Structures are given as structure tokens and as C-alpha cells.
Structure 1
């Protein structure tokens, strides 16, 4: 009897870890946007969660109004949200560059509030929740007694593919190498002939597209609504844990937050689930202030 109970508990633990990894991938993708923008512009974009929300609604409209299949709706949402991110950098952020960091942060917070307000004003959206039609909804796979939903598999697989594509871009393309140079030293990159302002806009576009992917992946789990962007608050600790200047660290931090959140929600008292990410951040700031993969060396090109 004891061995049977231990087996059930082990299966429960594995189930929670898998769910946590899937949720952590969402956090990691949002944190990836935080890190991309911070490395390129030294700006913290607190509207990253709202870009996720905009991307989710763009995918919903592409799927329901235009009748596009799931993957084409995903690509359409990425393109639409990338344009939004590009425009925000050009129209809103660029004119205030050089102002204090607090001013820029407040502007990004304001962008988030305005985005939620504008979305709720749309007649077909409002404050209702919406369901994104996905071809794999409800499918499950049984692996050694563990039940894995197709949604979780798609989230994890898509995150792996996206991270591989981003890594290849930063390593093998001229644009990626130029972005790395800008992230190290903007002034030196400018004197070397790198179009710093143009690359900053592209980074915002890429971060917005990544947020759109996170929104589409999250939609089958939590539905689509105007307040879904608040998930960005939990993704921010993921960026801090991984190191705010590390792209791999953003994903690792997201996975840590996702697993800790799931385990805390199941094994600890009610309320610890939402508090767990911030407890982990406090512990990280005490033990390793730069994060797991944070840079401690001086910037250089």
C-alpha cells in the first residue's frame, strides 16, 4: 500500500512539473521580451504583457474573422503585433530618449493601461472572455501513467524552436551580430556605422512578436481577455532570476517560476502560489543579485 501511495505521489509531482514547465515557457517568452528591449535600449518595457494581450486578440481576429488556420493566425498575430511594437518605439519611446529612466518606465506603464482601455472599448471585445479555436484542444497523451495535454506539448515545443531560431539569428546573421554590438555599447556601435536607432525599432518589433507567440500559446489555457496582460507581472521576476541581460537566463528564470508556482499551489496553503515567484526573486536578489546568468563584466564591443 505504501509503495502504491508513493507511486501516486511521484506521478502527481511529475504532472505538476510538466504543467509548471509549460507555464514557465510562457513566462520565459515574456521575460525574453523584457531582456531583448533592455539589452538594446536599456529600457524596461512594462507594457510587454499588454503586447501579449494584443497578440492574442490579433490571433483571435485572424482565426475567427478571417478564417485562417491556427498556424497562419499565429504568424499573422506575430506580424501585426510586431508592427505595433515597431510603432510604439518610433512614435512614443524615441521622442523621450534621454529622459530619466523613471520617466520612460512610467510611459511604458501608461502604454499598458491605455492598451487595456482601448481593447475594452472595442464593440466585439469588451470585457468578455473569448476562446481561440485550436486544432489540438482536449487532446492528451499518456506516458507511463502521466497525462500530458497537447497544449503543454505545443507550448514547450514552440518555445524550443523559437529559442533555437533566435539563437541562430544572433549568432549567424549580420542583424543579430549588430544587435549584440548595440547591446554591449550603443555609442561604440554608432561610431562603427551600425544603425542603432533602426535596430532599436527592430528589437521592439521582435520582442512584440515574441509576446504575440506567448499570447497565442497561453490562450487555450486561460482564454483571451483584456486583463490577460497582467501575466507580465509574473514574468518580470523570471527576467530578474535569469539575469536581466541574459536571453537564455530569461527562459531558465521562466521555467523556475513556472515550476515553483505549480508546486507551491499544490503543496502549500492557498495564497502561496501567487506569492511564490516574488519570494524566489527576493531569495535570488539576496544570494545572487545579478541573477543566474547576469553579466558581471564591463561592457565592451
Structure 2
């Protein structure tokens, strides 16, 4: 159950990572992040079942397509609301989520979809444990992606430029960084990460238009870890996943479904900045 919880937590962590990346750069909360995950899974399904690509080519292709979609989404729509009240931004992203779900139901229907992966049906045995290959692939995929993102932000010029833009937009602009383009690239990365989460989740939960609602639990993970902390997003996701699994075992029926929301309420009461976040103050 611990391993199952960690696998589920990795998915929450990847979605939460998208929340945090966008918020750190633009101070926008993207409530359509879970629906981007759903679209990424459907795109991979189309490439595999519709065009006959193998899993790995479809994986890369779906991530690239969703990254381009995220870039265009910011360039054409979301950039227009920068500087508007936060409520307007929240309502826009919630509305986009509804549009994405409706569009997915038109294109792919409302029935559940699935596709085979190299990990489907396989198991590993370690001592007395039997570990499903799909769960191991989720944990391994999350670890590899986090390492790639760390190296990208730490050692590349565009990664450093993204960090600079997220810390001080005006100073970054004066230093010659194309802030608007950087924001679009961050949206592209966020959408690509969401696609990875959707593809890794597909063998476990199957695909339908409602899986994007997992974004609400991922939001709890982002709050638990600290909404401005990238490592906190992943750790928060792991904690939420494990808490859910054990709540389903040791607590009365139904508690598993609300465990993430109970956690977010407790965090907001006891430590609003989250486990790894900092308290920020603004003088008005």
C-alpha cells in the first residue's frame, strides 16, 4: 500500500509541479492543469491506437504536442489577462478546464479508453513484495523528470532566465530577458509535465474526460508542499498519495476521497505557507 501510495503521489506531484512552475513565474493559479494532463493522455492514446506509433515515440510526441499547445495557450489567451485581478485569472482557467473537457468528449467520446504500455501486466518481486511494473514506472519516470528539470533550471541559460523572470520580472526585463517569451516557455514546460503525468497514469486509472479532476488533489499537494516550492510540490504529492492510501485502509469508508481536502484545511490553519514555503509580505 505504501508503494501504491507513492505511485499515486508521484502523479499528484507532477500535476502540482505544473501549478508551482506557473505560479512562481506569473503569479497565476492554473486550475486547468489537471485537464492538460487529461489531454496529454488522450493525445498519447491517439498516437498509439490511431496512428500505430510505438509507446516511446507516442510518449515523446504527446509531450511535444502538449508543450506546443501550452505555449500557444499562453501566447494567444492567457497573456491577455496578466495584470488583471486574480479572480479573473482563476475564472478564466476554470473556464478553460470546462472547454478542454467538453472538447475531449467531442473528439474522443465519454467512454473510458486504454492503451498498452511496456509495463502493463508486469510485476517485480523483491523479497516478499510484489510490485506492479506500472507503479515502478511512475516512480522512476517522476524521478527522471525531476532530475531533468533540476538540471535544466540549474545549468542552462534559458533555465536561469526563467528563474530570474520568476523572481523579479522588471529586473529581468531590464537585463534583456524576453519575459513574455519566457512565460510562454514556462507554460509549455508545465503542459509537457502534465502530459507526462497523464501518460504515466493511463495504465493505472485508464483515460476518460474526468481524470483531470485529479488536479484538485494535486492543488492540495502544492499547498502542502508550499505553493512556491518546486521540491515541495513533489514531496507534497507523495505525502497526499500515501495519506490517501492509508486513510482508505484504516479510516471508515469514504475518508479516502476527502483525505486530500482535510489535509489542505489543516495546512491552511496550522502552516499556511506549507512545509517548504516562505511567508511573503507585501506593503500596500
TM-score, normalising length: structure 2:
0.97
- What is the aligned partner in structure 2 of residue 279 from structure 1? 262
2:72 alignment partner, one of 79, 87, 107: 87
- SS of the residue aligned with 2:112? coil
Report the CA distance between 1:286 and its aligned residue. 2.2
- What is the aligned partner in structure 2 of residue 10 from structure 1? none
Following the alignment from structure 2 to structure 1, what is the Cα–Cα distance between the partners of residues 281 and 167?
9
- SS of the residue aligned with 2:125? strand
- What is the aligned partner in structure 2 of residue 139 from structure 1? 122
* Offset from partner CA, 1:25-44 (integer Å, 9 cap, x none): 00000000000000111000
1:187 alignment partner, one of 170, 174, 181: 170
Report the CA distance between 1:297 and its aligned residue. 6.2
- What is the aligned partner in structure 2 of residue 74 from structure 1? 59
Kindly indicate whether the alpha-carbon contact (under 8 Å) linking 1:52 and 1:212 is maintained by their aligned counterparts in 2.
yes
1:201 alignment partner, one of 184, 197, 202: 184
Following the alignment from structure 2 to structure 1, what is the Cα–Cα distance between the partners of residues 86 and 281?
20
- What is the aligned partner in structure 2 of residue 223 from structure 1? 206
Following the alignment from structure 2 to structure 1, what is the Cα–Cα distance between the partners of residues 278 and 185?
23
- What is the aligned partner in structure 1 of residue 99 from structure 2? 114
- What is the aligned partner in structure 2 of residue 8 from structure 1? none
Following the alignment from structure 1 to structure 2, what is the Cα–Cα distance between the partners of residues 262 and 239?
18
Report the CA distance between 1:66 and its aligned residue. 1.7
- SS of the residue aligned with 2:130? strand
Following the alignment from structure 1 to structure 2, what is the Cα–Cα distance between the partners of residues 98 and 136?
45
Report the CA distance between 1:281 and its aligned residue. 1.5
- What is the aligned partner in structure 1 of residue 217 from structure 2? 234
- What is the aligned partner in structure 1 of residue 195 from structure 2? 212
Q: Compared with structure 1, are the counterparts of its residues 201 and 20 closer, same or farther at alpha carbon in structure 2 (3 Å cutoff)? A: same
Report the CA distance between 1:132 and its aligned residue. 1.5
Report the CA distance between 1:298 and its aligned residue. 7.4
Question: How many equivalent residue pairs?
Answer: 282
1:51 alignment partner, one of 11, 25, 36: 36
TM-score, normalising length: structure 1:
0.92
1:36 alignment partner, one of 2, 17, 21: 21
**Could you say what the CA RMSD is over the residues aligned between the two structures, in angstroms?**
1.2
- SS of the residue aligned with 1:210? helix
- SS of the residue aligned with 2:77? helix
- SS of the residue aligned with 1:270? coil
Mark the runs of 5 or more structure 2 residues left unpaired by the alignment.
none
Following the alignment from structure 1 to structure 2, what is the Cα–Cα distance between the partners of residues 227 and 82?
21
* Offset from partner CA, 1:66-99 (integer Å, 9 cap, x none): 2111111111110111111111111111112221
Following the alignment from structure 1 to structure 2, what is the Cα–Cα distance between the partners of residues 132 and 267?
33
Kindly indicate whether the alpha-carbon contact (under 8 Å) linking 1:132 and 1:224 is maintained by their aligned counterparts in 2.
no
